[in-house]
């Protein structure tokens, strides 16, 4: 499939998902023009705030390929990814992101992620969500064990 065809599929999924009661977002993960996995926004349908189209597609692609490393794949998404999805895309090591609607388009219909970008730019003590460090001297043990482990699978 061409890039245009892959994007049209992501858009088609987003439109179809609205008709089925989900959010207006769809995503396709492809490798070499072949669809590996798709996803749609199911936040309200599944009561899962992480069930965005991109995250859902990443989970399905990782399962289909049997790996957490999606290098060699690209994602086509009907809208510019939110901060959570963008983070997931980086962690999955996708090679490229193609998107249709912009984050400004999403904001115009009530999907405004700008507050997250604004919050991340603030020092921790200036954010709306309190973040309280505690018990590091106990928790650090897991990190020490990980660092010393010879047979770890790094990611």
20 is known as an active-site residue: no
Tokens standing for residue 91: 């962690």
Identified catalytic residue from 54, 74, 80, 119 = 54
Asked if 70 and 25 touch (Cβ cutoff 8 Å), the reply is no
Asked if 27 and 77 touch (Cβ cutoff 8 Å), the reply is yes
Q: What angle do the packed helices 3-19 and 53-65 form, to 10 degrees?
A: 120
Q: Kindly give, in sequence order, each residue whose CB lies less than 8 Å from that of residue 8, ignoring residues fewer than 6 positions away.
A: none
What letters, b where the CB count within 10 A reaches 16 and e where it falls short, cover 76-99?
bbbbbbbeebeebbeebebeebeb
Catalytic residues: 54
């Amino acid at each position: 499939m061409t890039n245009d065809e892959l994007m049209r599929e992501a858009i088609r999924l987003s439109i179809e998902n609205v008709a089925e009661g989900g959010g207006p977002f769809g995503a396709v993960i492809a490798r070499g023009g072949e669809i590996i996995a798709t996803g749609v926004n199911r936040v309200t349908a599944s009561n899962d705030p992480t069930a965005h189209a991109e995250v859902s597609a990443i989970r399905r692609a990782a399962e289909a390929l049997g790996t957490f490393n999606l290098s060699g794949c690209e994602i086509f998404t009907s809208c510019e990814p939110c901060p959570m999805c963008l983070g997931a895309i980086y962690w999955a090591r996708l090679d490229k992101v193609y998107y249709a609607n912009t984050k400004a388009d999403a904001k115009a219909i009530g999907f405004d992620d700008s507050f997250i970008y604004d919050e991340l730019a603030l020092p921790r003590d200036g954010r709306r969500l309190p973040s309280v460090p505690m018990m590091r001297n106990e928790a650090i043990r897991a990190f020490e064990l990980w660092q010393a482990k010879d047979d770890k699978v790094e990611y």
